[in-house]
Amino acid sequence: MITLTAVEALLAACALHLGFQAVVTAVVYPALFDVPADRFLAAHAAHSRRITIVVAPVYALLALGCLDVLVAGPRSLPALVSVAAAAVAAGVTAFAAVPAHGRLAREGRSDDALRTLRVADRVRCAAAIVAAIGALVAQA
């Protein structure tokens, strides 16, 4: 059985999240944004079905890694920066990306909703990078 310290678990979760987020930023969203308006609703529905089965476990593991550090420590500055950055990524997902996806699912392709999603995605990617670096420094 492998036992991880809290900060090792945080680092593993942050690395997983960063890898996931990088693929979304570099591959998934560009492909979705290229879909023509007349096929967008179907493409977005398929995207939503497929991505949900990946998003949920990634964010659950990230939350567990953050909670583990907050409960067990270390509460060093790099660890807390990592936790805060992970919280930013989760908050942007909940309060910007999810509503934008909801609009796209209801209304179809919308430049405004896609712009919101693009900005949210960039913020999440930056937050995932900061979270991973913080966890790496905390672990060192």
Domain count, the chain: 1
In a domain? residue 120: yes
Task: Give pLDDT, residue 97.
Answer: 97
Residue range 7-16, pLDDT digits in tens = 999 999 999 9
Task: Give pLDDT, residue 61.
Answer: 97
Query: Among 107, 95, 118, 135, which Cα is nearest to 15's?
Result: 135
> Is the distance from CB of 130 to CB of 81 less than 8 angstroms?
yes
In a domain? residue 61: yes
In a domain? residue 1: no
In a domain? residue 70: yes
Q: Residue 76: which domain range?
A: 6-139
In a domain? residue 50: yes
In a domain? residue 102: yes
In a domain? residue 46: yes
Task: Give pLDDT, residue 53.
Answer: 95
In a domain? residue 64: yes
Q: Report the chain (140 residues): mean pLDDT per 10 consecutive residues.
A: 91 98 97 95 96 96 97 93 98 97 95 97 98 95
- Of the CA atoms within 13 Å of residue 32, those in its CB half-sphere come to 30
Task: Give pLDDT, residue 54.
Answer: 95
* Predicted TM-score (pTM) of this structure: 0.94
Task: Give pLDDT, residue 3.
Answer: 86
